[in-house]
A and B are shown apart, each in its own frame.
Chain A
Amino acid sequence: MTEKKKTYIEDIERTLYDIKDEDRSVYKAHSGLTEDVVRDISTRKHEPQWMLDFRLKSLEVYNSLELPTWGPSLEELHMDDIVTYVQPDAKMTGSWEEVPEDIKDTFDRLGIPEAEKTSLGGVGAQYDSEVVYHSIQEDMVKQGVIYTDMETAVREHEEIVKEYFMTLVPPKDHKFAALHGAVWSGGSFVYVPAGVHVEMPLQSYFRLNAAGAGQFEHTLIIVEPGASLHFIEGCSAPKHNVTNLHAGCVELFVKDGARLRYSTIENWSRNMMNLNTKRALVEKDGIIEWVSGSFGSHISCLYPCSVLHGENARCEFTGVTFASKGQNLDTGASVIHAAPHTSANINTRTISKAGGMATYRSAVKVTKNAPFAKCSVNCESLMLDNLSRSDTLPVMDIEGDEADIGHEAKIGRISDEAIFYLTSRGIDEEEARAMIVRGFVEPIAKELPLEYALEMNNLVNIELEGTIG
């Protein structure tokens, strides 16, 4: 038998995402974080006093907290070099025509307006620190649905924002939550009144173009009793040779009997530190469904948390993570059972290749107030070569009575016998590997919004192309 030659493609095709636009922002905050920077951001946004106070208090908390000591090392992150606020040369508009040409081109390439035409009920697009485009279908507005950028929400729906903003993720939660509280900018605000079902998904797209910048968008969604919504979020950035930081914050309020599906596909560039905090508070009979795809970034720490606060509240978490060369993706989920008969279902797949590191990390807590809680965790990892690493770190803390907790973890490689089986049916080795990887993520892929499922399929295909057996 002759020695097999193998060639590997180490990285996914990123040409589409890596096209950099010329940075012609009108204003950039000084790099680093001082009180002046924070005041400046607030002034430019014409914010009410309470928000400025909130920012300054967050800054104080930020300065008093240490970096987390667990998870991937964050030593490459130098806060003094990060520009916290970049204002693009564009005003927020409800008309796609008015978006400046180069910014429009970027979103066109990513297929954003196309998606709006065909399958979405509303679209938001954020470029660097500010939202440049927002639209929502007329009939939803008539039903009282609000979908707008956070700045507009602070001005026009101040009472609602004030009641909820950073109550679920308080600045003192951790250093990056505090940072977010101080310099947040952009993001989406969605309010769905009681009993209203938003039939078509709303989608926000975040694009970070400027080098060395941070993106700190805030997403606040309130789904009132008996209402339902599907919200999709996509993120990308071109590759710069300096570190960018993403420390967004997502707060989801799911009221009695309401249902929210929150889908994210994150495809940041490979120099991004993605330290995002997402949390949902679910009341009686409410359902939160997370669908989370992590493909990009240099380092990610992402563990969407569901607080099951009302009786019978439910959480469904579906996640996929793909770590390639130079990536350390630490992802997972967290669930707090705080009421009787709450249930959670966590289902994740991670793939690592070409030296990538993928960790599944989860925390399940069942409080004393949550008898008959039910939680099932299934996490599977696939390593595509011997250079890659994978780890599973589940933590369980069970205080409630009669809890039904199940955990299943699997870490493996593509088995030679499975390849032999498929090739014995006439399928070549390359396609056999691709089929196995696609099969591995299939239970997740079918949960993704269609265009993202296709994108993920392409990622898998491109990843494996050139693996000549």
Chain B
Amino acid sequence: MAEKLLEIKDLHAGVEDKEILKGLNLSVNKGEVHVILGPNGSGKSTLMNIIMGHPKYQITSGTMEFEGEDMSGLKTFERARKGLFLSFQTPEEIPGITVENMIRTAKQTITGDKVKLVPFRKELKAQMQELKMKPEYAQRYMNVGFSGGEKKRNEILQLLMLQPKLALLDETDSGLDVDAVQIVSEGVAKFHNADNSCLIITHNTRILEKLKVDKVHVLMNGQIVEEGGAELIEDINSRGFTHILDAQNEAK
């Protein structure tokens, strides 16, 4: 029996008076790769932010569990320490904090152990090489002056260095050229194994080429309206989202 990692039930949430998620259900098992598809404005990024505990959003009802534990009282940093990771659609620029310092500090707080500099540097250098990042980027300030592609690679670098249990990837492939998508996709594939899971938002199937997708969810108007296997991706790609909405309306 597969082990449940993330379980969301009848989640209603939003910002101020505006409800964005309207009774969302989602369940991810350990070792699985899930993809969320949906038109712009359907609430995909909001979902990612809410799973990560962004203080801007309020949950009005429903439950969210990680490894069987209720997450509602947990702050963002506590969720990260339990094994959640969000790769941002637009990663923040943080002047004065180097990539190396940032990742090392994060690793220390997550593992609760001192991270020795020499082996850490060695590992960081190797991972950067895989992602085709120039080694001097370790000493650059977080995302400051990085191109769009470099920022995304920096997100995947953190993913590989921090080894979370659940990776939330919010359009990690958007705005990237073909080569960069390839690199990012290889990075994600390298990260994934039987002990961790990925929840991926994407408009681009190329990032999925190196991964075995277990489940696809279609998010529209704050709800999961359809679920299926990898074949659903092809279907949406060729026919778009409207036919799903039409089918929904007919069913009602």
Residues of A with Cβ closer than 8 Å to B? Answer: 1, 4, 415-418, 420-429, 431-432, 435-436, 438-443, 469
Measured in the bound complex, the distance between the Cα atoms of B75 and A34 in whole Å is 65
**Besides A425-B109, A440-B95, 5 new A-B residue pairs in contact (Cβ under 8 A), listed by A number:** A421-B88, A421-B94, A429-B77, A438-B96, A469-B75
List, in ascending order, chain B residues with CB within 8 A of A420's CB. Answer: 52, 54-55, 76
Contact with A along B39-82 (1 / 0, CB 8 A): 00000000000001011101100000000000000011101110
List, in ascending order, chain A residues with CB within 8 A of B110's CB. Answer: 425-426
A425 — nearest CB in chain B belongs to which residue? B106
List, in ascending order, chain A residues with CB within 8 A of B213's CB. Answer: none
- Taking a contact as CB atoms under 8 Å apart, the answer to whether A425 and B94 are in contact is no
- Taking a contact as CB atoms under 8 Å apart, the answer to whether A427 and B77 are in contact is yes
- Which one of A1, A418, A424 contacts B80 once the chains associate, using CB atoms below 8 Å? A424
Residues of B with Cβ closer than 8 Å to A? Answer: 52, 54-56, 58-59, 75-77, 79-81, 84-86, 88, 91-92, 94-97, 102-103, 105-106, 109-110, 141, 158, 162
- Taking a contact as CB atoms under 8 Å apart, the answer to whether A427 and B105 are in contact is yes
List, in ascending order, chain A residues with CB within 8 A of B59's CB. Answer: 1
Q: What 3 A-B pairs are tightest by C-beta distance, nearest first?
A: A439-B96, A442-B96, A426-B80
Measured in the bound complex, the distance between the Cα atoms of B113 and A193 in whole Å is 54
Sampled A-B contacts (20; CB under 8 Å): A1-B55, A416-B55, A421-B88, A421-B92, A422-B102, A424-B76, A424-B85, A425-B80, A425-B85, A426-B77, A426-B80, A426-B110, A428-B109, A431-B105, A436-B94, A439-B94, A439-B95, A440-B96, A441-B96, A443-B96
**Closest CB in chain A relative to B106 CB, distance in Å:** 4
A420 — nearest CB in chain B belongs to which residue? B54
Measured in the bound complex, the distance between the Cα atoms of B91 and A416 in whole Å is 13
- Taking a contact as CB atoms under 8 Å apart, the answer to whether B94 and A423 are in contact is no
List, in ascending order, chain B residues with CB within 8 A of A435's CB. Answer: 94, 97, 105
Measured in the bound complex, the distance between the Cα atoms of B162 and A392 in whole Å is 41
List, in ascending order, chain A residues with CB within 8 A of B96's CB. Answer: 436, 438-443
- Taking a contact as CB atoms under 8 Å apart, the answer to whether A439 and B97 are in contact is yes
A4 — nearest CB in chain B belongs to which residue? B55
- Taking a contact as CB atoms under 8 Å apart, the answer to whether A1 and B58 are in contact is yes
- Taking a contact as CB atoms under 8 Å apart, the answer to whether A424 and B94 are in contact is no
- Which one of A416, A426, A438 contacts B106 once the chains associate, using CB atoms below 8 Å? A426
Given contacts A417-B92, A418-B94, A441-B96, contact A425 B55 (CB under 8 A): no
Measured in the bound complex, the distance between the Cα atoms of B54 and A418 in whole Å is 11
Most buried by A among B56, B88, B94, B162: B94
- Which one of A1, A426, A443 contacts B109 once the chains associate, using CB atoms below 8 Å? A426
- Taking a contact as CB atoms under 8 Å apart, the answer to whether A424 and B86 are in contact is yes
**Closest CB in chain B relative to A226 CB, distance in Å:** 34
Measured in the bound complex, the distance between the Cα atoms of B109 and A432 in whole Å is 12
List, in ascending order, chain A residues with CB within 8 A of B79's CB. Answer: 424
- Taking a contact as CB atoms under 8 Å apart, the answer to whether A421 and B91 are in contact is yes
List, in ascending order, chain B residues with CB within 8 A of A441's CB. Answer: 96
List, in ascending order, chain A residues with CB within 8 A of B95's CB. Answer: 439-440, 442
List, in ascending order, chain A residues with CB within 8 A of B80's CB. Answer: 423-426
List, in ascending order, chain A residues with CB within 8 A of B162's CB. Answer: 425-426
**Closest CB in chain B relative to A3 CB, distance in Å:** 11
- Taking a contact as CB atoms under 8 Å apart, the answer to whether A422 and B56 are in contact is no
Measured in the bound complex, the distance between the Cα atoms of B231 and A422 in whole Å is 37
B81 — nearest CB in chain A belongs to which residue? A426
**Closest CB in chain A relative to B46 CB, distance in Å:** 13
A438 — nearest CB in chain B belongs to which residue? B96
**Closest CB in chain B relative to A18 CB, distance in Å:** 30
B95 — nearest CB in chain A belongs to which residue? A439
**Closest CB in chain B relative to A334 CB, distance in Å:** 26
**Closest CB in chain B relative to A414 CB, distance in Å:** 10
Most buried by B among A420, A425, A439, A469: A425
B87 — nearest CB in chain A belongs to which residue? A424
- Taking a contact as CB atoms under 8 Å apart, the answer to whether B75 and A439 are in contact is no
B54 — nearest CB in chain A belongs to which residue? A420
**Closest CB in chain A relative to B161 CB, distance in Å:** 10
List, in ascending order, chain A residues with CB within 8 A of B76's CB. Answer: 420, 423-424
Measured in the bound complex, the distance between the Cα atoms of B233 and A359 in whole Å is 56
List, in ascending order, chain B residues with CB within 8 A of A431's CB. Answer: 105, 109
Measured in the bound complex, the distance between the Cα atoms of B76 and A443 in whole Å is 29
Measured in the bound complex, the distance between the Cα atoms of B86 and A424 in whole Å is 7
Measured in the bound complex, the distance between the Cα atoms of B94 and A440 in whole Å is 9
**Closest CB in chain B relative to A421 CB, distance in Å:** 4
Measured in the bound complex, the distance between the Cα atoms of B94 and A209 in whole Å is 41
**Closest CB in chain A relative to B116 CB, distance in Å:** 18
Given contacts A421-B91, A439-B141, contact A427 B54 (CB under 8 A): no
Most buried by B among A4, A423, A438: A423
List, in ascending order, chain A residues with CB within 8 A of B55's CB. Answer: 1, 4, 416, 420
- Taking a contact as CB atoms under 8 Å apart, the answer to whether B102 and A416 are in contact is no
A415 — nearest CB in chain B belongs to which residue? B92
List, in ascending order, chain A residues with CB within 8 A of B158's CB. Answer: 425
Given contacts A1-B55, A416-B55, A428-B109, contact A423 B77 (CB under 8 A): yes
List, in ascending order, chain B residues with CB within 8 A of A416's CB. Answer: 55-56
B73 — nearest CB in chain A belongs to which residue? A2
B79 — nearest CB in chain A belongs to which residue? A424
Measured in the bound complex, the distance between the Cα atoms of B94 and A443 in whole Å is 13
List, in ascending order, chain A residues with CB within 8 A of B141's CB. Answer: 439
